[in-house]
A and B are shown apart, each in its own frame.
Chain A
Amino acid sequence: MEPILTKFVREPHCYTLDFYLKHEGYQGLRTALGMKPNDVIELVKASGLKGRGGAGFPAGMKWQFVVKDTPKPKYIVCNADESEPGTFKDHLLMERNPHLLFEGCLIACHAIGAKVAYIYIRGEFLHVQHVLEQQLEDAYKKGYVGKNVMGLGWDCDIFIHRGAGAYEAGEETALLESLEGKRAQPRLKPPFPAIAGLYGAPTAVNNVETLSNVPSILLRGAEWYAALGPEKNGGPKLYCISGHVERPGVYEASMNITLRELIFNVAGGVRDGRPLKAVIPGGSSVPILLPDQLDIQASFDGVAKAGSLLGSAGIIVLDDTTCMVWLAENLLRFYRHESCGKCTPCREGTQWLLNILEKIERGEGEMKDLALLENVAGLIAGKTLCAFGDAAATPALTTLKNFRGEYEAHVREGRCTVPAPWRRRTAAAAHSH
């Protein structure tokens, strides 16, 4: 498939407005502004565009749910928090193709009847933010954002808002809280943001990649878009491939591609020709797939059928030197650190999971700890306010399910049985946080 989102990212001035305008820039918006908002929503619905932020919820439906008949303002909020381990596609899109995102934001605003879009960008992306700000200023100056957009008598503002380091700010209601100047802790749903979102007003929260898909749908139509991929998984997809591969990176492909092709053809296979041990296909928080499970469509539905999730399409590749107990411990340290603390099972459970995993990895584990791990993970999953809880329970559960023997070997031999040259060499120092 010819790249659509990243076609020009290697060209020297691809991020500038002039370059963008030379390549049909803002023409999707022009088309949209000539249509009734509801027709734009119907078009995006027909395209089948699924949200690229993790949950895969259809974007057109999300816009349709936004309450239109209200005296309150409405908002588009772009989720540029990109913090899911293994995910780095929005980073590339914003840095190299910022106007595509602006155009997507504007079309979304027109569709739901909003006059303001906020782009919530994670604090660590300051260099990306600088690109966005500079380009936004140019777009304002030349009349593509702000008052009387393209002389068509329509006003719309875009503002950039910088986060400050919190994974949980990526969860959409936590993001809204953070944008309102509070801790990034999720809200109880319902009400959903479509009814009461930012400042209590109807809001749609969309991922950067989702919004960046919208202009081409307006330009070339829903049928063209849907036909790019398998049924209900249309359009181009950005895959983030990291870990033990020869060529880590962001790659654009149709969702017709298989996971095996992505890892072995596109990303050059496992580093140094080592054997593949496992793959985490959708960011840190989804079930592991084994080497014999890779001949599946790398689509939302294809990966789900194989028992995992495409999530944010962060594909983390693991070679045979990877200890699965260490891996679970590493991820639990992440989840323990990032738990927002609002609900007890997650706040306390992540600490307990980490304690037990550290103990096993150090070689001090007992066989009964394995059951305890499953027990604690089960007490978190499905019992929390947001999906973080399920995510935090997954690393322990999926490694136990697929690599129980490795856990047992740690307990039996009283040490890590899969030490790797790329890991810490000194005695596991007490972790300081």
Chain B
Amino acid sequence: MSFHPKIDYREFHRSTRKMPYDDGKVFAYEPDNRARLEDIAKRYPPEGRKSAILPALYLVQRQLGYISLSSMQHVAEAIGCTAAEVEDVVSFYTMFYTRPMGKFVVQVCRTLPCALRGAERVTEELTTALGIQPNDTDSTGTFTLMEVECLGACDRAPLVMVNDSWHECLQPEDAKKLADDLRARGEDALTGCHHQSPDRAKG
């Protein structure tokens, strides 16, 4: 960000750098996750072992739910690179969480095609139904609400992703029901393409 006399520099400074989340615990892979990492690393040539960083972080997230300071150091050791290189990657990609998240991470797609079909209203209704703003987690740790960019299925707008699963064509008036159903039935409440019959190829 350049300096300009008319800019309130503090307001416009956009660095989102936060210190890595330190939960005070020492992270180590469970043995099967560690073995899985070595399996994955075989897909890349020896000089390309760093390619396994993304998979390694997914394994951390699967085990811990987020990426902690200690886990980054652990990944660095497992890969054979510096912790700074791991942090560099973690801070770039949106799918790595650097803090504990709710049990259900509800991600509303807000990009144009979804917005044209009511995504802004979906977010509004979810905000009311969950009692939280985007980027917040409720006090019980059940829900985190987020807005994300195009998920690559705009024909089924508005699209919502809950953890790794999808819910398609969510109408604003059904948002509250989805929240209730998630509480009651978990991810079974979702009706994304991966739960549907193959007959959804068109429209």
Chain A interface residues toward B at CB < 8 A: 6, 9-12, 14, 73, 82-88, 90-92, 95-96, 118, 122-127, 130, 157, 159, 161-167, 178-184, 198-199, 240-244, 247-251, 284, 314, 316, 318, 322, 327, 330-331, 333-334, 337-338, 340, 348, 351, 355, 422-426, 429, 432-433
Q: Provide the B1-28 mask, 1 if CB < 8 A to any CB of A, else 0.
A: 1100000000010100000000000000
Cross-chain contact A164 with B57 (CB below 8 angstroms):
yes
Q: Which of B50, B94, B124, B154 contacts A182 (CB 8 A)?
A: B50
Return A351 CB to nearest CB of chain B, in Å. Answer: 6
CA distance A348 to B123 in the complex (A): 28
Complex Cα distance A131/B147, Å? 27
Shortest Cβ distance from A198 into B: residue: B48
A-B Cβ contacts below 8 A, count: 195
B70 at the binding interface (Cβ < 8 Å): no
Contact assessment for B152 and A162 in the assembled complex, using a CB-CB cutoff below 8 Å: no
Q: Which chain B residue lies CB-closest to A92?
A: B201
Is B95 within 8 A of A165, CB to CB? yes
A88 touches B117 (CB 8 A): no
Contact A86 B92 (CB under 8 A): no
CB distance from B38 to the nearest CB of A (A): 15
Q: A422–B118 contact, CB under 8 A?
A: yes
Chain B residues proximal to chain A, CB less than 8 Å: 1-2, 12, 14, 43-45, 47-48, 50-55, 57-58, 79, 81, 85, 88-89, 92-96, 110-113, 115-118, 120-121, 123-124, 133-135, 147-157, 161, 164-166, 192-194, 198-199, 201-203
Distance in Å from the Cβ of B136 to the closest Cβ of chain A?
8
The 8 A-B pairs of least Cβ separation, nearest first, read A127-B194, A165-B94, A181-B50, A164-B93, A165-B95, A181-B53, A248-B155, A242-B154
Q: Complex: how many Å from CA A361 to CA B135?
A: 23
Contacts of A91 in B (CB 8 A): 152-153
Contacts of B111 in A (CB 8 A): 85, 284, 330-331, 334
Interface contact A322-B50, CB-CB below 8 Å:
no
How far is it, in angstroms, between the C-alpha of A256 and the C-alpha of B122 when the chains are bound?
A: 38
Nearest chain B CB to A164's CB is how many angstroms away? Answer: 4
**Cβ 8 A contact of A316, one of B110, B112, B198:** B112
Nearest B residue to A283 via CB reads B150
Instruction: Enumerate chain A residues within 8 angstroms of B150, measured Cβ to Cβ.
Output: 83-87, 167, 284, 334
Contact of B193 among A83, A123, A127, A164 (CB under 8 A): A127
A127 to B190, CA, bound (A): 13
B14 / chain A contacts, CB cutoff of 8 Å: 351
Also in contact, A348 and B2, with CB within 8 A (given A86-B150, A284-B111, A422-B121): yes
Of all chain A residues, the one with the shortest Cβ separation from B136 is A432
Closest chain A residue to B133 by CB distance?
A432
Does the CB pair A242–B155 fall under 8 Å? yes
A181's partner among B54, B124, B156, B198 (CB-CB below 8 A) is: B54
**Given contacts A164-B95, A314-B154, is CB(A95)–CB(B193) below 8 Å?**
yes
Query: Which of A247, A322, A423 has a CB less than 8 Å from the CB of B120?
Result: A423
Closest Cβ of chain A: how far from B172's Cβ, in Å? 8
- Closest chain A CB from B163 CB (angstroms): 9
Q: Indicate which residue in A88, A118, A180, A331 contacts B154 across the interface (CB closer than 8 Å).
A: A88
Q: Bound complex: CA of A429 vs CA of B110, how far in Å?
A: 14
Is there contact, CB below 8 Å, between B124 and A180?
Answer: no
Contact A330 B93 (CB under 8 A): no
